[in-house]
A and B are shown apart, each in its own frame.
Chain A
């Protein structure tokens, strides 16, 4: 492969607080062009918040998110809207528009951003739905779908515009193992064949090791380590070891979090 851009996306000194509580604590990392960058971490560790600051949905209290050297949070609203056409995002809770049908949801970004004719848009939408295995559900209402199906429609919508960068917030949570593997393969194919850059948040360690080029471990708002699969597997950090093995004994205590949160 040709020379890849080592600092395609750079997150610098990112701090985000919610009502005085620090959720992202001085985060720094780089994402390379064309890689699958996986962010793992416990529930409530700030993964979704990190993605949302990266897409510009929420403003950080401090720090920058650079795309090819350009800080997304320095853009005005109109520039941001233009910038975001290069993004696709699949949301943790799907976030489909529930007054539209499945096909309308997928074609919405194409319809809004291009001047293609309606028939062509329909064909593109159907193609994307086929990719996520939802061929034949085009005219269903969102409310008629199961949670996993919604997730897949959200995935189809995320890739509808053929984005350069796709953000996936737990794309495989709530899917059965087979569909889960299919979605992992889809992420791999898209990234490697179309040379996209993928940022994936997940809990599922199996899919992490299936798809990741590099892994970042987030723990209570701090970035513990960024590294390749092997580096993470062989990490000396007991928190990381406990997390990837899913053990009860170790430095991570469930109750500790709860007590701190309620203070």
Chain B
């Protein structure tokens, strides 16, 4: 029993260490992103742009796919309840609220954590085990500035964009179900969608991805920097990175939703 508690305490301690280290990395990254200019080394926008293409453009399909079918599923799940009440057109507002407030941002973030977070860790981790990071340091090039900043900025721009796309395609999924199998009039569907969707739903939903983007890139890079032990180590680090991102995303989502819920804007 004591052993069990000890284990819990230990792993809690580990998680807190990870959290503190990632926060430090975050501040260092922000420092270099902002104050790099004063070191005569402003952010390399060509690299940021390349990263944006890789992270954003190439993730469009998977984000669309996941959120679209989520929209479809929600509409189908809700339909019988509303049909009983004879108010089937409310499906549209429920789908849009669920997607814009919660599922759009979170699902997109989870998909990107799996796709981009893992890729960041694999890339940085294999650089670490091949001594490329050490080579950078020996050349007097700060790895955080050179590697972390472009990835951080690129994801900070792209994840909100992808989230907006995810919101739209999720609502489109609901629309497809609503107007075909539920026989809701398309004009009516769109009207009900926007009638119940407040501005707050939109901006709370769109502010979350900035936080998620920071989590995904920072966790990815942190796990990459920490990688040791060859190809096996890279594999392990990648898994850990995705799991850690997932957990932090869910916690952050909960905290942010709490803030929006209790604090009146």
> Which A residues have a C-beta under 8 Å from some C-beta of B?
52, 55-57, 77, 80-85, 87, 89, 91, 93, 95-99, 108-109, 112-113, 115, 157, 161
The answer to whether A97 touches B127 (Cβ under 8 A) is yes
**How many A-B pairs with Cβ below 8 Å?**
57
* CB within 8 Å of A: which B118-144 residues: 123, 127, 130-132, 134-142
The answer to whether B141 touches A112 (Cβ under 8 A) is yes
Q: Which residues of B contact A112 (CB under 8 A)?
A: 41, 139-141, 146
The answer to whether A96 touches B132 (Cβ under 8 A) is yes
The answer to whether B140 touches A81 (Cβ under 8 A) is yes
**Min CB–CB distance B209 → chain A (angstroms):** 26
Shortest 10 CB-CB distances between A and B: which pairs? A84-B140, A95-B135, A81-B140, A95-B131, A109-B139, A89-B138, A85-B140, A112-B141, A95-B132, A55-B138
Q: How far is the CA of A169 from the CA of B140 in the complex (A)?
A: 18
**Min CB–CB distance A88 → chain B (angstroms):** 8
**Min CB–CB distance B138 → chain A (angstroms):** 5
Q: How far is the CA of A98 from the CA of B140 in the complex (A)?
A: 18
**Min CB–CB distance B195 → chain A (angstroms):** 49
**Min CB–CB distance A134 → chain B (angstroms):** 18
Is B40 an interface residue when CB atoms closer than 8 A count as contact?
yes
Q: Quick one: given A112-B41, A115-B40, are A81 and B134 in contact (CB under 8 Å)? A: no
Quick one: closest A residue to B142, CB to CB? A81
The answer to whether B131 touches A91 (Cβ under 8 A) is yes
Quick one: closest B residue to A93, CB to CB? B131
The answer to whether B139 touches A84 (Cβ under 8 A) is yes
**Min CB–CB distance A156 → chain B (angstroms):** 13
**Min CB–CB distance B124 → chain A (angstroms):** 11
5 additional A-B pairs beyond A84-B140, A95-B130, A112-B139, beta carbons within 8 Å, are A52-B134, A97-B135, A108-B141, A112-B146, A157-B139
Q: Which residues of B contact A83 (CB under 8 A)?
A: 140
The answer to whether A89 touches B135 (Cβ under 8 A) is yes
Q: Which residues of B contact A89 (CB under 8 A)?
A: 135, 138-139
Q: How far is the CA of A46 from the CA of B91 in the complex (A)?
A: 69
B131-166 to A contact mask, C-beta < 8 Å, 1/0: 110111111111000100000000000000000000
Q: How far is the CA of A85 from the CA of B41 in the complex (A)?
A: 15
The answer to whether B139 touches A98 (Cβ under 8 A) is no
The answer to whether A84 touches B138 (Cβ under 8 A) is yes
Q: How far is the CA of A112 from the CA of B141 in the complex (A)?
A: 7
**Min CB–CB distance A239 → chain B (angstroms):** 29
Q: Which residues of A contact B41 (CB under 8 A)?
A: 112
Quick one: closest A residue to B130, CB to CB? A95
Q: Which residues of B contact A99 (CB under 8 A)?
A: 123
Q: How far is the CA of A84 from the CA of B131 in the complex (A)?
A: 17
Q: Which of A56, A80, A91, A115 interacts with B135 by CB under 8 Å? A: A91
Q: Quick one: given A93-B130, A95-B131, are A113 and B138 in contact (CB under 8 Å)? A: no
**Min CB–CB distance A72 → chain B (angstroms):** 12
The answer to whether A57 touches B138 (Cβ under 8 A) is yes
Q: Which residues of B contact A52 (CB under 8 A)?
A: 134
Q: How far is the CA of A84 from the CA of B139 in the complex (A)?
A: 6
Q: Which residues of B contact A161 (CB under 8 A)?
A: 139
The answer to whether A57 touches B134 (Cβ under 8 A) is yes
Q: Which residues of A contact B123 (CB under 8 A)?
A: 99
Q: Which residues of A contact B139 (CB under 8 A)?
A: 84, 89, 108-109, 112, 157, 161
The answer to whether B140 touches A95 (Cβ under 8 A) is no
**Min CB–CB distance A149 → chain B (angstroms):** 16
Q: How far is the CA of A99 from the CA of B134 in the complex (A)?
A: 16
